[in-house]
Amino acid sequence: MPKLAAQPQSIDFDIARTALVIIDMQRDFLEPGGFGESLGNDISLLRNAVAPCAVVLEAARAAEMLVIHTREGHLPDLSDAPPSKISRGQPSKRIGDIGPMGRILIRGEPGQDIIPELYPLPNEVVIDKPGKGAFYATEFGDVLKKHAIETLLVCGVTTEVCVHTTVREGNDRGYRCVVLGDCCASYFPEFHEAGLRMVRAQGGIFGWVSNSRQLLTALADV
């Protein structure tokens, strides 16, 4: 069983009971004209996570690990999008508005899809979620139970929002959550660092923090 160097301590994991979870690496968040940019964010900051995610994704596929991608997005009639979410802030375009990549954060539109560099293979699981966390109003929990998953290796954006929410949800459900820090990013670098510290604080209150290099080292020893 491989051992992954992590903080606050190393963790053993069974590949057959481990899932790589890539959170919301979508065009609407990482490319010009999407929802992230409409809120006034510097989308280039999220690109830091793309290359490490790609390396980890390739390694997980080679190890035949379960790979799960998530996409935040809403039904075309916005019936699953609370008004408080649609109206927040003063974006140049809101959820459901027409943007350069179709209606913003609407399921099935080009902008809601995953970036080409990390695009899912046909056999990989894709979870469409209406909220921040992967467990809320989705089949994510059922998929994990079906595959007898115990450990989640979590990547994606943004560190302090959808990644953190999913890790907190997973921790409450008894999953061992490992955040791969360099595979995550935020529009606010200080939030990214604080988010990682929160996960590993107090002996790992929400889980563990590792990185892509340490995961590759662990998998190489299998």
User: What does the alpha-carbon distance between residue 158 and residue 25 come to, in Å, rounded to a whole number?
Assistant: 9
Q: Which of 53, 155, 162, 177 is catalytic?
A: 162
Q: What is the largest CA-CA distance in the chain?
A: 50
What is the rounded CA–CA span in Å between residue 60 and residue 160? 24
162 in catalytic set: yes
Q: Give me the catalytic one of 24, 28, 113, 182.
A: 24
3-class secondary-structure state, position 154: strand
Annotation marks residue 145 as catalytic: no
CA dist 130 and 143 (Å) reads: 17
- Asked if 83 and 23 count as a contact pair (C-beta separation under 8 A), the reply is no
Among the listed residues 140, 145, 163, the one whose alpha carbon sits nearest the alpha carbon of residue 46: 163
24 in catalytic set? yes
Find the catalytic residue in 28, 53, 128, 129: 129
* Catalytic site positions: 24, 129, 162
